[in-house]
Structure 1
Amino acid sequence: MQTQATVANPILWADVPDVSVIRVGSVYYMVSTSMHSMPGCPIMKSGNLKHWGLAGYVFDRLEDNDAHNLMDGKGIYGSGSWAASLRYHDGIYYVAFSSNDMNRFYVYRTADIERGPWERSVIEGLHHDPSLLFDDGRVYVIYGNGDIRIRELTETASAPKEGGLDRLLFETEREGIGLRCEGCHAYKLNGFYYLFFIEWPTVGNRRRRQLVYRSRRLLGPYERRVALDDDLGYRNCGVAQGGIVSTPEGKWYAMLFQDRDAVGRIPCLVPVRWEDDWPIFGADGRVPGTLEAPMPDIAPRPLVTGDEFDYGDNKLALNWQWNHNPDDRLWSVTARPGWLRLTTGAIANRIELARNTLTQRTEGPTCAAETLLDAAGMKPGDRAGLVALQSGFGTVGIWAGENGERFVAMCVRGQDGSEEIVESLPYACERIRLKIEFDFRESADTAVFAYSAEGEAWRSIGRPLQMKYTLDHFMGYRIGLFNYATRVSGGFADFDYFRYAKGGERD
């Protein structure tokens, strides 16, 4: 049923950056950056541009090597899949992106975006922030940072076309610009080629802004306009980078994102109208906090969700992603029915290097998660619990001692990168409840840690974590379950549930 809906920005108050959106029939699909989280390149689905749910992933693992497996002492934090381009052409869905750590450009194809399988092609060399463009039987990728290039691909976009176009398309502005144009989204509409970018000026508002370049010819020359320069009233953080999409009724919108500190980069929906074949973003040049739009009445699906771990097969809900590639031999939801079991493998000295940490996004304005941990199977030196995961991490959980004793501990990242104990207390029981509460309101960006024995009141532990978004991880804070060994492998921790609550819910 078609209704007039009130849409509030942000559309998703969670880390869903570098969005690329298409519509096929009456269904919208969106892909975003996933970097070191696996499975990667999440595909989200919507019937109305307002409510988005996870429909699948493009790949389970991008590569199988020591860095992607978190076995090289560094991992691929801040690397992996970046700024994917999602397109649909002649019955086939395409996702294309580059990976900085691999110095490669990847193209995936499928006839079924929700179920796959995805066919993969690899082209050597970075194609920074690419956009695929299908034009009159030819296929191009347009990419770059400041120096914008165009390269012709084969009909299936699986390789460079031999003898095809491969050249500099144009150079973007330099004067007064800190970050030159990147984040390309390319379209051919109404006899024009449109290229959308972001740039970050060092004069004027000094915030990320959305640009559009337009030409009647693919190779130019291109005209340039600032399409949007607004911050939605938030700390001079520009709403920009993304593409445009039309509704079946012919209305146009842009899906862009905004930096929102520790929670990450969050999508916003911006109305678009056309004037003299130029796209005009926003209402009077501003991103509306709310907008009325004709949209079908479709129930929302949660991006982050609780889990009682009641599975018949050893397969998790789509909401979960592992921190780097998991070792599938060492986790199970069937070994102990109704529980998630994490068994230790390689030795690690901190949570950042711990394999098989299972994560979901955090959400604003506030959210909280709790779990019940059974520590009976842990070995000396094991550490298990809940983590607020970014470079400046915080953990709460059980540390297993040398002689069978246990401690409940709250830890943060120390100056040398190791886990620094803020508070540690003896704990006699095998089972413990753990909780982290997140507050992203007005950039408070705090996480508070608590524990309790079963049936007892919650007790805070340690100190509130002042969360900070840093570029070494380049990802908003995530909430995760972990168990890792510091001395000997083979111990296990069982988690009975993951219960999640989001504050400030909107219809």
Structure 2
Amino acid sequence: WFYIFYGDPDFGIYRTRSRDPEGDWERPHLVVEAKGWIDPCPFWDDDGRAYLVHALAGSRAGSKSIILLHKMTPDGDHLLDDGVLVFDGHDQHPTIEGTKMHKRNGYYYILAPAGGVANGWQTMLRSKNIYGPYEAKIILHQGETEVNGPHQGAWVELENGEDWFIHFQEKQPYGRVVHLQPARWVNNWLQIGQDSNQDGIGEPVASWTIPSLDQRFKDWQPQTTDEFNEPVIGLQWQWQANPQALWALPGALGYLRLNPALRPDTINRWSAPYLLLQKMPAESFTVRTKVNFHHHFDGERTGLIVMGIDYAHLSLIQENDQLQLQMTTCTKAQTGHPEQIQSQIPARSGVVELQVTVSSGGICRFGYRYDSGSWQEIGPPFQAKEGKWIGAKIGIFCDRLAPENDGGYADYDWFRVSLN
């Protein structure tokens, strides 16, 4: 079997499994009902006994910075005990979590990040006894590099014996950026990256020889641009929350139709579920889209949005039977701050191209043009901000203030992303 165990901090730890990782997976099964149990990892010992190691989320469990180990049925169906405390990180490894358990050369290992998402480090624990006591060693940190918080990852061993470590970096508006580090074993400790200052702790490398694989893989990147010529939208798109079928109508007509969703009864769009978004693809890039806005009633709006705890959008809105083009921002959206119009001009037409250019650090500049003319910048630069546990996202939306019979709609011809 191939297994996935995951923690839902509000309900407990679930297991799904499959005979083929590319095939069908079983419906998630609740292994244990619990609050705040996170980052589980199953482990099968040489004698066939099964265990589950995990951490705690303080927001739900009321406790954190500790690691618990449980006996488990070999099929991963349920736990056999209430758990044993095998490591307390409060003093030197606070917020320890993200557990991964291994056995090598007679040692039990638990790899776990500590120190917090933004500025933490990767900790490795080892013991000859599965219940400890465990020695603790920091095996990867930022050091003198520009990669903050290099942790929350996993050791990967290739068939040819090469060792690698995959982890993420919290990069504010860009979200959690994935890194691959070279690794090797020295004195039964995993050494990651390079120890450039000889302090015994690895540091991330900026570049390295790629892994030696038996087969070569084509260079690729996730989808970004969507011409909206297919009966389904691309896999890069993510709704802000659970979608409704009529929010977006793809088709073979060469455009994506957005129907105006009813705005939430809130002062901003932080809780608007109908935002159609995708992740930032690079540090510097440009997004352009073309919209034909068929506006019927006052309060209908559509546009291009950069979404996070601070957000901004360039949008068309009908007000007093007049179509306006507005560049709008909202800061601290999650606390209920209102949107602020930064620039507003009469729209010449409901057919317009919208643009946002993102430069290093997440600085966004909005622009527009009509009839393939020259681009005109509108509004001040905007600093993109991450969301809650996610990076900023970019996309399109269409909404209205009140329900109407046969409201307007926005036809998006294409959404194009280019790297700068």
**TM over 0.5: same fold?**
yes
Matches within 5 A, 1:224-263: 224-231=136-143, 233-234=145-146, 237-263=148-174
Q: Which secondary structure does the structure 2 equivalent of 1:128 belong to?
A: strand
Flag structure 2 segments of 5+ consecutive residues without an equivalent.
56-63, 196-201
C-alpha contact 1:380 1:487 (8 A) present in aligned 2: no
Q: Relative to structure 1, is the Cα distance of residues 326 and 448 closer, same or farther in structure 2, using a 3 angstrom cutoff?
A: same
Identity of matched residues, %:
24
Which of 91, 110, 120 pairs up with 1:175? Answer: 91
**In the alignment, which residue of structure 2 is the partner of 1:146?**
65
**Offset, 1:194:** 1.2
Aligned residue for 2:256?
340
Q: 1:390 to 1:382 in 2, by over 3 A?
A: same
Query: What residue number does 1:121 align with?
Result: 29
SS in structure 2 of the partner of residue 352 of structure 1? coil
Does structure 2 conserve the Cα–Cα contact (< 8 Å) formed by 1:172 and 1:180?
no
Distance in 1, matches of 2:131 and 2:330, equals 50
Runs of 4+ in 1 over 4 A off after TM superposition: none
Matched, 1:303 2:229: no
CA distance in 1 between partners of 2:178 and 2:270 (Å) = 27
Q: Which residue in the other structure is 2:349 paired with? A: 429
Q: Distance in 1 between matches of 2:156 and 2:349?
A: 55
TM-aligned CA deviation for residue 103 of structure 1: 3.7
Please say if 1:457 is aligned against 2:368. no
Give the corresponding residue for 1:482: 397
**1:119–1:155: structure 2 CA closer, same or farther, 3 Å change rule?**
farther
Give the direction of change, closer, same or farther, for the CA distance of 1:222–1:171 in structure 2 (3 Å limit). Answer: closer
Contact 1:147 1:168 in 2 (8 A): no
Q: Does structure 1 conserve the Cα–Cα contact (< 8 Å) formed by 2:316 and 2:350?
A: no
Deviations 1:175-207 (A, max 9, x none): 355x33111112233333211111228xxxx94
Alignment of 1:34-53 (within 5 A): none
Name the structure, 1 or 2, with higher relative contact order (CA <8 Å, separation 6+).
1
Residue of structure 2 equivalent to 1:210: 122
Count of residues paired in the alignment: 393
The separation in 2 between residues aligned to 1:128 and 1:165, in whole angstroms, is: 17
What's the counterpart of residue 381 of structure 1?
A: 299
Aligned residues of 1:379 and 1:488 also touching (Cα < 8 A): no
- The residue identity in structure 2 corresponding to 1:185 is K
Structure 1 residues 148, 333: closer, same or farther in 2, change over 3 A?
same
- Alignment CA distance shift 1:430-1:290 (3 Å): same
Deviations along 1:383-432, whole A, 9 cap, x unmatched? 211111101011111112242x2111111115642221111111131211
Gaps of 5+ in 1: 1-89
Deviation at 1:433, TM superposition (A): 0.6
Alignment correspondent of 2:99? 184
SS of the equivalent of 1:433 reads: strand
What are the superposed Cα offsets for residues 310-349 of structure 1, whole Å, 9 maximum, x if unpaired?
11x3x33222211111112332112x62211121333335
Residue 214 of structure 1 aligns with an amino acid whose one-letter code is: R
- Looking at structure 1, the residues matched to 6 and 193 of structure 2 have their Cα atoms a distance apart, in angstroms, of 28
Matched residues in 2 for 1:469 and 1:482: separation?
A: 19
Deviation readout 1:29-64 (Å, 9 max, x if unpaired): xxxxxxxxxxxxxxxxxxxxxxxxxxxxxxxxxxxx
Residue identity opposite 1:355 in structure 2: P
Change over 3 Å in CA distance of 1:361–1:382 after alignment to 2: same
Q: Distance in 2 between matches of 1:386 and 1:95?
A: 37
- Does residue 97 of structure 1 match 2:16? no
> Is residue 500 from structure 1 mapped to residue 409 from structure 2 by the alignment?
no
Measured against aligned partners, the alpha-carbon deviations of 1:117-166 in whole angstroms (never above 9, x if no partner) come to 542123422322222223344443211142211234444434x23xx133
Q: Does the 8 Å contact 1:422/1:462 carry over to 2? A: yes
Partner of 1:133: 43
CA distance 1:388–1:249, shift in 2 (3 Å):
same
Distance 1:171 1:221, change over 3 A: closer
> CA, structure 1 residues 229+146, in 2 after alignment: closer, same or farther (shift >3 Å)?
same
- Matched with 1:291 is 208
Local SS of the residue matching 1:292: coil
CA distance in 1, matches of 2:236, 2:143: 29
- What do the CA deviations read for 1:269-296 (whole angstroms, capped 9, x no partner)? 1111112222111122222111113244
Q: Secondary structure at the match of 1:262?
A: helix
CA contact (8 A) 2:223 2:235 kept: no
CA distance in 2, matches of 1:483, 1:426: 19
CA contact (8 A) 1:110 1:119 kept: no
Q: Which moved more, 1:492-501 or 1:409-418?
A: 409-418
Structure 1 residue 360 corresponds to structure 2 residue 275: no
**Is the 1:232–1:287 contact (alpha carbons within 8 Å) kept by the matching residues of 2?**
no
Task: Return the offset for 1:299.
Answer: 1.3
* Closer, same or farther: CA 286–183 of 1 in aligned 2, 3 Å: same
Which range moved further: 265-274 or 218-227? 218-227
Q: SS of the counterpart of 1:287?
A: coil
Report the residue type matching 1:491 in the other structure.
G
Q: Give the 3-state SS of the residue equivalent to 1:182 in structure 2.
A: coil
- Contact 2:87–2:134 (CA<8 Å) still a contact in 1? no
| Corresponding residue for residue 60 of structure 2 | none
Amino acid of the structure 2 residue aligned with 1:385: G
- 1:348-390: CA deviations, max 9, x gaps? 3533232221111113320111111110155421221111110
The 10-residue stretch of structure 1 (371-380 or 254-263) with the greater mean CA deviation from structure 2: 371-380
Deviations 1:246-283, CA, capped at 9 Å, x for gaps:
12211000001112222122111111111222211112
Tell me the C-alpha RMSD between the 2 structures.
2.4
Letter of the 2:392 counterpart:
Y
Shift of residue 112, structure 1, vs aligned partner:
4.1
